[in-house]
């Protein structure tokens, strides 16, 4: 059973960089064919996809955030990470990591999610 767990600072100052890590257990992040994504949800609002990284290391980002986002993978630690620069209060949200398949129609949905971590942007 695959499990995902987010970790990182719960409080980030405005203009600084938000950094989160997702640790994958129950399977190797580099085996098989999967897309590993970050998704966020402001309190009381809907879900917003941030970006993804493929098993091979290639990335796709939400155009609305692309200039500020970097997603990377560390296969030795079975983790992938999110960096979001120049944060403002509007970036305050619960951040989730999630997995989608890498082939065919399995690419179009997320079958495993982390429990989420709240990141607050405030001075």
Separation CA 28–CA 24 (nearest Å): 7
* One of 23, 96, 119, 121 touching another protein (CB under 8 A): 96
* One of 46, 76, 122, 123 touching another protein (CB under 8 A): 46
Strand-strand pairing, 3-7 and 18-25: antiparallel
2 binds another protein (CB under 8 A): no
DSSP 49-70: EEEEEETTS-EEE-TTTGGGEE
**Per-residue interface string for the shown chain with another protein, residues 64-93, x marking contact by CB under 8 A:** ------------------------------
**Per-residue interface string for the shown chain with another protein, residues 26-45, x marking contact by CB under 8 A:** -----------x-x------
Strand-strand pairing, 11-12 and 117-121: parallel
Q: Who's near 1: CB < 8 A, 6+ residues apart?
A: 26
Find the length of the chain.
123
- Judged by beta carbon, residue 58 or residue 122, the one nearer another protein is 58
Tokens of 78: 């079975």
**Least distance to another protein from the beta carbon of 123, Å?**
27
**Least distance to another protein from the beta carbon of 110, Å?**
7
């Amino acid at each position: 059973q695959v499990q995902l767990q987010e970790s990182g600072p719960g409080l980030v100052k405005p203009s600084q960089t938000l950094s989160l890590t997702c640790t994958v257990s129950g399977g190797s992040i580099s085996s098989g064919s999967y897309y590993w994504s970050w998704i966020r949800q402001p309190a009381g609002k809907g879900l917003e996809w941030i970006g993804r990284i493929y098993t091979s290391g290639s990335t796709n980002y939400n155009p609305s955030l692309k200039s500020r986002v970097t997603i990377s993978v560390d296969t030795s630690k079975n983790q992938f990470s999110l960096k979001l620069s120049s944060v403002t209060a509007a970036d305050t949200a619960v951040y989730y990591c999630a997995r989608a398949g890498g082939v065919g129609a399995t690419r179009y949905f997320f079958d495993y999610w982390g429990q989420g971590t709240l990141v607050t942007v405030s001075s």
